[in-house]
């Protein structure tokens, strides 16, 4: 499962949660009336948007004894110091333990005792559970019981990139806050100086800036060169779509399709407005000569197919077949050109 962009060693875990500009609106919305904040929140949205960092920032703010007018935790009071040290007695972060990928029922049951006690130093108790979809069925059931009888003065935040994997009964007990990818220019501005070749990375990341950083760290630039080589070979009729689909599946179908979507969108734009600057000039230089004669309408139709394939990724449909189908269509489209 995609980890939501924070590892145990990041400063956020040690008490200084990162503040991301694209959170401003949700932050303002939530902090406007903190006293009216619902007791259970579901923070959801695609991976790579910093939802967990947001939850930790809000937790620190809720526990702080003297937050400033800008609704940020002070960073200096006893509560903030305890939070920074990672041992605030009124805060609990529930996540899969050690090598496990599952949040177990024992972990959720332990919350009952934690929430039953009065707060030590803060005005309330705060729980962050992430990634919430890692709860097994027993854990989710135990959580449901606690959500049905919320202890007074507590806030529970469930963080997930896959809300559909949570039981509807759990979801319906929470007030939902959707996190969206920032507008492209904002995301690219933020990535400037943080990542090389931000445009391709952001495409592959489906627009999520932190996912783009993670992709770079995990060697996506090398992968991208292979992907571009594949599209080039497919367009020239030198490669089998079936073999290519198998490689793409092993590289991670989602990243590949995200990247392909960005590439085709770019090529379609160039076909529509010949003077437009390409976001991927290298890809353009290699592919445009091969695709000469391909109408922008055909590219836009194929772009729809890529988008449709991306949507189908979350379904039980076989990824290999999905990729094969798409790449076969690309070969058919480009076959007439050579
Ligand atoms: Zn404070």
Q: What is the pTM of this model?
A: 0.80
Task: Tell me if 297 sits within 8 A of 304, measured CB to CB.
Answer: no
- In sequence order, what are the beta bridge partners of 157? 41, 128
Torsion angle of C-alpha atoms 52, 57, 62, 63, degrees rounded to 10:
100
219-335 sits in which CATH class?
A: mainly alpha
CA of residue 81 to ligand 1 center, whole Å? 7
CA of residue 122 to ligand 1 center, whole Å? 10
Give me the pLDDT at residue 290, please. 85
Domain with CATH 1.20.272.10 in the chain: 219-335
Output the DSSP codes for 223-274: HHHHHHHHHHHHHTT-S-HHHHHHHHHHHHHHHHHHHHHHHHHHHHHHHHST
Give backbone dihedrals phi and psi of 165, rounded to 5 degrees, phi first. Answer: -85, -5
Ligand 1 ion: Cβ-proximal residues, 5 Å cutoff: 64, 73-74, 77, 80
Tokens representing 85 are 């040290």
Looking at the domain 11-178, which fold is it?
A: Rossmann fold (3.40.50)
Using the predicted structure, report yes or no on whether residue 8 has a pLDDT greater than 60. no
Give me the pLDDT at residue 193, please. 94
How would you label 91-106 residue by residue, b for 16+ Cβ within 10 Å and e otherwise? Answer: bbbbbbeeeeeebbbe
CA of residue 72 to ligand 1 center, whole Å? 9
- In sequence order, what are the beta bridge partners of 159? 43
Mean pLDDT of all residues in 91-99: 93
Mean pLDDT of all residues in 69-89: 89
Q: How many residues does the chain have?
A: 338
Give me the pLDDT at residue 68, please. 74
Mean pLDDT of all residues in 261-290: 85
Going by the DSSP 8-state scheme, the letter that residue 293 receives in this structure is: T
CA of residue 74 to ligand 1 center, whole Å? 4
CA of residue 157 to ligand 1 center, whole Å? 20
CA of residue 34 to ligand 1 center, whole Å? 15
Using the predicted structure, report yes or no on whether residue 138 has a pLDDT greater than 60. yes
Mean pLDDT of all residues in 266-282: 83
Give me the pLDDT at residue 98, please. 85
Q: Beta strand pairing status for 154-160 and 40-44?
A: parallel
* Helix intervals (H) in the chain: 24-31, 51-63, 78-85, 105-116, 137-148, 168-171, 184-191, 198-204, 209-217, 220-235, 241-272, 281-287, 296-312, 319-335
Give the whole-angstrom CA distance, residue 291 versus residue 274.
13
Task: Give me the residue label for tokens 């076909």.
Answer: 271
Across all residues in the chain, what is the average pLDDT? 89
Mean pLDDT of all residues in 288-296: 86
Give me the pLDDT at residue 292, please. 85
Domain with CATH 3.40.50.300 in the chain: 11-178
Going by the DSSP 8-state scheme, the letter that residue 135 receives in this structure is: B
* pLDDT tens string 24-60: 999 998 888 888 899 999 999 999 999 999 999 999 9
């Amino acid at each position: 499962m995609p980890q939501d962009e924070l590892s145990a060693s990041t400063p956020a875990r040690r008490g200084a949660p990162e503040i991301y500009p694209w959170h401003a609106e949700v932050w303002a919305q939530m902090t406007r009336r903190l006293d009216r904040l619902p007791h259970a929140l579901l923070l959801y949205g695609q991976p790579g948007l910093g939802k967990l960092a947001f939850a930790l920032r809000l937790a620190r703010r809720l526990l702080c004894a003297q937050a400033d007018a800008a609704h940020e935790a002070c960073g200096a009071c006893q509560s903030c110091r305890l939070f920074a040290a990672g041992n605030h007695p009124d805060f609990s972060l529930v996540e899969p333990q050690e090598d496990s990928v599952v949040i177990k029922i024992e972990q959720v049951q332990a919350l009952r005792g934690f929430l039953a006690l009065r707060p030590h130093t803060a005005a309330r108790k705060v729980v962050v559970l992430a990634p919430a979809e890692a709860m097994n069925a027993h854990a989710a059931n135990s959580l449901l019981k606690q959500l049905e009888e919320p202890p007074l003065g507590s806030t529970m935040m469930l963080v997930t990139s896959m809300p559909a994997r949570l039981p509807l009964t759990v979801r319906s007990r929470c007030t939902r806050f959707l996190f969206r990818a920032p507008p492209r220019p904002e995301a690219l501005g933020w990535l400037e100086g943080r990542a090389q070749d931000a445009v391709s990375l952001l495409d592959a990341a489906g627009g999520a800036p932190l996912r783009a950083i993670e992709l770079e760290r995990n060697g996506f630039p090398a992968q991208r060169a292979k992907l571009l080589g594949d599209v080039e070979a497919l367009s020239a009729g030198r490669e089998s779509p079936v073999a290519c689909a198998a490689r793409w599946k092993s590289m991670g179908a989602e990243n590949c399709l995200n990247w392909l979507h960005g590439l085709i969108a770019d090529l379609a734009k160039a076909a529509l407005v010949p003077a437009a600057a390409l976001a991927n000039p290298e890809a353009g230089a290699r592919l445009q000569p091969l695709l000469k004669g391909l109408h922008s309408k055909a590219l836009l139709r194929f772009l729809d197919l890529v988008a449709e394939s991306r949507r189908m990724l979350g379904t039980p449909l076989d990824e290999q077949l999905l990729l094969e189908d798409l790449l076969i269509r690309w070969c058919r489209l480009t076959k007439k050109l050579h």
